Structure 1
């Protein structure tokens, strides 16, 4: 397969994905934002706890 064929195949795949995808509505967008925010908070809390434990152990 040469460069031209692989490029055309890639473009076809991109067009298919764009055709199938849709813009999220307001409710879906808010839900994704809430889940993402919650994940960031949880990771921050875990990092904070690890930092506190490391300081208590004198590392």
Structure 2
């Protein structure tokens, strides 16, 4: 498969995905935002706990 054929196939697949994709509703967007915020908060808390334990242990 040549580079040109490969790029042509890639663009056809991208076009197909964009046709199937839909804009999320307001409710879906809010739910996705909440889940993302909770995930970021959990990662932050875990990092804070690790740093706190390291400072207490004197590492």
Tell me if both proteins adopt one fold, taking TM over 0.5 as the criterion. Answer: yes
Q: Secondary structure of the residue that 2:23 maps to in structure 1?
A: coil
Runs of 4+ aligned structure 1 residues displaced above 4 Å come to none
Name 1:6's counterpart in structure 2: 6
Stretches of structure 2 lacking an aligned partner (at least 5 in a row)? none
TM-score, length basis structure 2: 0.97
The structural deviation recorded for 1:4 is 1.3
Name 1:50's counterpart in structure 2: 50
Q: For this pair of structures, how many residues does the alignment match?
A: 59
The structural deviation recorded for 1:56 is 0.5
Stretches of structure 1 lacking an aligned partner (at least 5 in a row)? none
